A = this chain, B = another copy of it.
Amino acid sequence: MDIQMVNSMDFGEFVDVLGNIIEKCPLIAAAIWSQRPFTDLADLEKHVFDFIEALPQSGKEGILRCHPDLAGRELQQGTLTPESQREQRGAGLSNLGPEERRRLDQLNYEYKARFGFPFVIAARLSDKATMMRELERRLRNQPAQELRAALHEVRKICHLRLEDILRSPGDPAKL
């Protein structure tokens, strides 16, 4: 799919295809549809990021709260969005040992209690050891600093999901 195809979609198709570039926030793709045409992926994602940046702090936190826990209940129950499922499985989170699971549950719990949103990280750019280390490190951030760090991860996830969509389906070498 190329950017011309994306630009030619009615809002129903656009939200069907791009609705989850920000996890469980189709509102954002639906909003930026108003701003077509986009020149390329970078232009499209700039509109997404500008929309997020203009939200009040509660709205930014709201985006984070729409994300699942890393290796949480939804991964175990198979109720993740297809994108999150792929990302978490790919990072090795679907086969944790009992000790890793206990440790991750504990850190997720502490993180959520401290910041009021779940730990978000671009799992596809990481692996389980790195994610665990990052979680421990970011747990020590100040709240405002951590909100920025978490939104930075949201943008990385969005970029990767957009790349998947805009990649030619006829070019398996890139998949």
Contacts and interface: CB of A to CB of B under 8 A. Distances in A.
Interface stretch (A30-38, A87-95, A96-104, A134-142): A30-38
A30 B62 contact: yes
Interface stretch (A49-57, A122-130, A156-164): A49-57
B24 A27 contact: yes
A107 interface: no
Contact of A62 (B12, B31, B56, B61): B31
Interface size class of A (residues with CB under 8 A): 20 to 34
Contact of A66 (B10, B15, B54, B61): B15
- Tell me what chain A mostly uses at the interface: helix, strand, loop, or mixed: helix
A34 B15 contact: no
A63 B112 contact: no
A104 to B, nearest CB: 16
Interface string A41-69: 00000000001001111110111011000
A75 interface: no
A25 interface: yes
Nearest to A56: B54
Given A33-B65, A34-B57, 10 more contacts: A11-B112, A11-B117, A15-B65, A25-B25, A25-B26, A26-B66, A27-B28, A31-B56, A31-B62, A32-B62
Interface of A: 10-12, 15, 24-35, 51, 54-59, 61-63, 65-66, 112, 116-117
Please name the 6 residue pairs, one residue from A and one from B, whose CB atoms are nearest each other, closest first.
Answer: A31-B62, A30-B65, A30-B62, A34-B58, A31-B58, A27-B62
